Amino acid sequence: MTKLLEIKDLHVAIDGKEILKGVNLTMRSGEVHALMGPNGSGKSTLSYAIAGHPNYEVTSGEVLLDGQDILELEADERAKAGLFLAFQYPTSIPGVTVANFLRHAVTNVRNPGRKEGEDLVPMRDFRKELRAEMDELGMDPDFARRYLNEGFSGGEKKRAEVLQLAMLRPAFAILDETDSGLDIDAVRVVSEGVNKVAAKVGTGVLVITHYQRILTYIKPQFVHILYGGKIVEDGGPELVDTLEREGYDWVRAKYPNDAKAEDALSV
Amino acid sequence: MSSATTINAPPNSASVGGFSETAFEAFLATRDEPAWLIERRRQAFAKFQATPWPTARDEEWRRTDIRGLKLDTFGPPILSEPSPADRVAAAPTIDALAAHYATGIAHINASLSQKADASKLGGAVLLDLASAIKLHPELIKKHLLTDPATVEADALSALHAAFWTGGTLLYVPKGVKVEAPLYSLICLAGQGHVDLDHTLVILDEGAEATLVRESTSRGRDDSPAFHAGGIELFVGAGAKLQFVNIQNWDEQTWHFSRERAYVSQNAEIQWTVGGLGSRLAKVNQDVALMGEKANAQVNGVLFTTGKQHLAYFTRQDHIAPHTTSDLLYKGGLKDRSRIVWKGMIKVEKDAQRTNAYQKDDNLVLSNQARADSIPGLEIEANDVRCTHGATAGRVDEEMIFYAQARGVDRATAIRLIVEGFFANVYDRITLEPVRETLRLAVADKLGRR
Ligand SMILES: Nc1ncnc2c1ncn2[C@@H]1O[C@H](COP(=O)(O)OP(=O)(O)OP(=O)(O)O)[C@@H](O)[C@H]1O
Ligand SMILES: [Mg+2]
């Protein structure tokens, strides 16, 4: 069953300052999209706005999941509807183990109608599944007992994000610079993990990255450039090669008005 | 709201009312106690009469207002066989303790309701104080309320020393290592509303034991209750004591407790406090490191809701050299409740090479709740290492969002974060059932209203 995520003319402000100025993007199940753009162009802002962070104010536009407007939903309801964001900077939660946290997450996402206080997914099955996924991602089983992201290295945090993705099997996943902080081998392992989930459940993936490497494993059919708060270029994988070769100067030259907006953003 | 009957004649205390001279003489007449003990009580009573009642002008009571306590509506408890209804009320708590620990002793409304099973004591003596005085008079005479610092600290400690009733002795002879944890339950049930328990623990040289003490209210009416208690822990040379004290009175109960551990050379104490219940609590929890290389670990888990006010004052008295102490208190506050923690590390002149640590963290869960956290150091030696710290903060919204982004609803996210906040103190508590009791109590209070 093909699912559809539509972002229509999305405007987002933080503390009253407009960061996104009309973003349009449509994704279907099974598709891989890459989103690139210079630092500060608004990629994480887009991720947070879709995920439902309360500080990111949607001033106009729509985000539709299979035609349903999700902007009115709380972040947890969006996750239960099938959205997943792998954070660029994952938050640590001291004292809460990876396993305990994920058991709650998995329980809620897999039984969206569940009421608070109802049983969690059975411990034995959960443990087994968690262990198998961790194994796939090359994570030490002891990791399950560590406190979530607490004292994790940069790469460990990113792996833990993909572990959660693998356990939650979302309809759409946004990977916000999941490759940054990972060593060369880990980029491959983690990418394979993402691909496997996508193959299994048909996840549509939006890969936000600055580098080509992750895109050689998670191969995008569509590539977008976010610049000055708008998507200014849509293309195929060749766009990645162009950026890798030439950087963003040509984008700047081609879109002088957005370049002004971009400069305004980065003050 | 109290019913008329409970106001007029509180059933488990003397109808004379209050802790007056008449009440005291009447109380003594009911006690079948040796002369030395009666004399000790008389001295304490004189002290009680001579000591002014605490007011906001006293530093220790500056933040803790007890003007709402009507002392003369209480009196020394009248001892009687616990009623069947009261036993039924207390049963779930006793059953829970019995399920986890080897054996234990229980008091309901200050009267002994259950003796320990002697065959499961592993060589220890666990008795109500009245029996202990008959069977081990010298031991009791030597240790019970002999320290002026404990008896004369304030009017409430003097009241306790004069009027204590019920009470428990744990004695572990030299070299005896009691493997299985023991328990002691202090319960106010039904119409009970006064408890003046004294807990005395004596570990002889090289002895080892674990005692879990819990005080709780069960099926009580909604009249005010009063507890003025005392705890004395003597840990002999090379001995190891693990002592857990969970205070879980209902929110009509005034709780006052004067507690001190005396730790001898090479001895160790791990002392865990759970402060969950009571309307208002004023607790002094002190450890005195009396002998070289004595070591104390102190853990506190406090959680308040409604209008509760919990004031916990801690001392780490380093008296001998090479002693170590490590205190970690954690508090969670909801609604309009308040926690006051005031800590003091005191290092005497001779206590060189002391290593002392003290930390109090609070998680404030409502705009109306308030945590006061006041660490303190007084150091007279010059070669020491002392660290202290205190924090108070709110639940981090970024953590909540992160959890929500993974499908966890806000209320559950907060619960997980709060549990996580207490995790580093739970991690220090080696007794799984104690961790579980505290965890459940916190979850329960967090979920309430
Ligand atoms: N909480 C905030 N308060 C103020 N400005 C913010 C806030 N969050 C983001 N911004 C601003 O919004 C703009 C877009 O930031 P965003 O994090 O979305 O960029 P990005 O494209 O993800 O950059 P990078 O490639 O460095 O991750 C930046 O100018 C940033 O400073
Ligand atoms: Mg970013």
Q: Of B71, B343, B92, which Cα lies nearest the Cα of B227?
A: B71
- Taking the C-alpha atoms of residue B446 and residue B104, their distance in angstroms, rounded to an integer, is 30
The CA-atom distances, in angstroms, between B31 and each of A21, B27, B47, B166 are 84, 7, 20, 11
pLDDT of B430: 92
Q: Tokens 């759409």 — which residue?
A: A172
Residue B449: pLDDT over 60: no
- Taking the C-alpha atoms of residue B103 and residue B184, their distance in angstroms, rounded to an integer, is 9
Tell me if A91 and B401 make a contact (CB, 8 A cut-off): yes
- Taking the C-alpha atoms of residue A56 and residue A62, their distance in angstroms, rounded to an integer, is 14
Q: Is the CB of A41 under 6 A from ligand 1?
A: yes
Q: Residue B409: list chain A partners with CB under 8 A.
A: 74, 76, 108, 116
Tell me if B399 and A53 make a contact (CB, 8 A cut-off): no
Q: Is the CB of A211 under 6 A from ligand 1?
A: no
- Taking the C-alpha atoms of residue B218 and residue B221, their distance in angstroms, rounded to an integer, is 9
pTM for the complete prediction?
0.91
C-alpha Rg value of chain A to the nearest Å? 18
- Taking the C-alpha atoms of residue B127 and residue B423, their distance in angstroms, rounded to an integer, is 34
The proportion of chain B whose per-residue pLDDT surpasses 70, expressed as a percent, equals 96
pLDDT of B431: 94
The proportion of chain B whose per-residue pLDDT surpasses 90, expressed as a percent, equals 93
Pairing of the two strands B111-114 and B103-108: antiparallel
What strands lie across the sheet with A32-36, from one edge to the other?
A: A83-86, A172-176, A204-208, A32-36, A222-227, A230-235
Tokens representing B346?
């005191």
| pLDDT band of B6, cuts 50, 70, 90 | very low
The CA-atom distances, in angstroms, between A226 and each of A204, A220, A256, B262, B435 are 19, 16, 14, 68, 51
A18 CA to centre of ligand 1 in angstroms: 11
Average pLDDT over residues A134-145: 94
E-strand ranges in A15-100 read 17-28, 32-36, 56-65, 68-69, 83-86
Q: Is A34 left (phi over 0), alpha (psi -120 to 50) or beta?
A: beta
**pLDDT tens digits, one per residue of A42-90:** 999 999 999 999 999 999 999 999 999 999 999 999 999 999 999 999 9
- Say if CB B184 and CB B218 are below 8 A apart: no
> Which mutation among A12, A14, A210 tests ligand 1's pocket best, with the greatest number of atoms within 8 A of CB?
A14
Q: Which residues contact A256 (CB under 8 A, 6 or more apart)?
A: none
| pLDDT band of B3, cuts 50, 70, 90 | very low
| pLDDT band of B15, cuts 50, 70, 90 | very low
**pLDDT tens digits, one per residue of B77-119:** 988 889 999 999 999 999 999 999 999 999 999 999 999 999 9
Q: Residue B413: list chain A partners with CB under 8 A.
A: 76
Average pLDDT over residues A185-202: 95
Respond yes or no on whether ipTM tops 0.95: yes
Interface A-B: count of C-beta contacts within 8 A? 87
> Which mutation among A44, A53, A267 tests ligand 1's pocket best, with the greatest number of atoms within 8 A of CB?
A44
The CA-atom distances, in angstroms, between A96 and each of A151, B132, B414 are 13, 45, 11
Using DSSP, state whether B220 is helix, strand or coil: coil
pLDDT of B448: 67
B208 CA to centre of ligand 1 in angstroms: 59
pLDDT of A262: 73
Q: Residue B408: list chain A partners with CB under 8 A.
A: 76, 101, 104-105, 108
- Taking the C-alpha atoms of residue B188 and residue B185, their distance in angstroms, rounded to an integer, is 10
- Say if CB B44 and CB B161 are below 8 A apart: yes
pLDDT of A79: 98
pLDDT of A116: 75
Average pLDDT over residues B365-375: 96
Q: Of B256, B305, B244, B245, which Cα lies nearest the Cα of B277?
A: B305
Tell me if A104 and B416 make a contact (CB, 8 A cut-off): yes
Pairing of the two strands A56-65 and A68-69: antiparallel
Q: Of A126, A134, A135, which Cα lies nearest the Cα of A100?
A: A126
pLDDT of A265: 62
Q: Tokens 């969206």 — which residue?
A: A112
pLDDT of B16: 44
- Taking the C-alpha atoms of residue B6 and residue A250, their distance in angstroms, rounded to an integer, is 87
Average pLDDT over residues B396-401: 98
Q: Is the CB of A44 under 6 A from ligand 1?
A: yes
Of A54, A95, A164, the CB nearest to B420: A95
Q: Residue B422: list chain A partners with CB under 8 A.
A: 95
Residue B429: pLDDT over 60: yes
pLDDT of A266: 60
- Taking the C-alpha atoms of residue A158 and residue A179, their distance in angstroms, rounded to an integer, is 8
pLDDT of B12: 61
Residue B4: pLDDT over 50: no
What is the residue with the minimal CA distance to atom 6 of ligand 1? A14
Pairing of the two strands B168-172 and B125-128: antiparallel
Q: Tokens 């304490």 — which residue?
A: B44
Q: Is the CB of A265 under 6 A from ligand 1?
A: yes
Q: Residue B438: list chain A partners with CB under 8 A.
A: none
CA distance to partner chain A, nearest, from residue B279 (Å): 28
Q: How many residues can be counted in chain A? A: 267
What is the residue with the minimal CA distance to atom 7 of ligand 1? A14
Average pLDDT over residues B373-398: 96
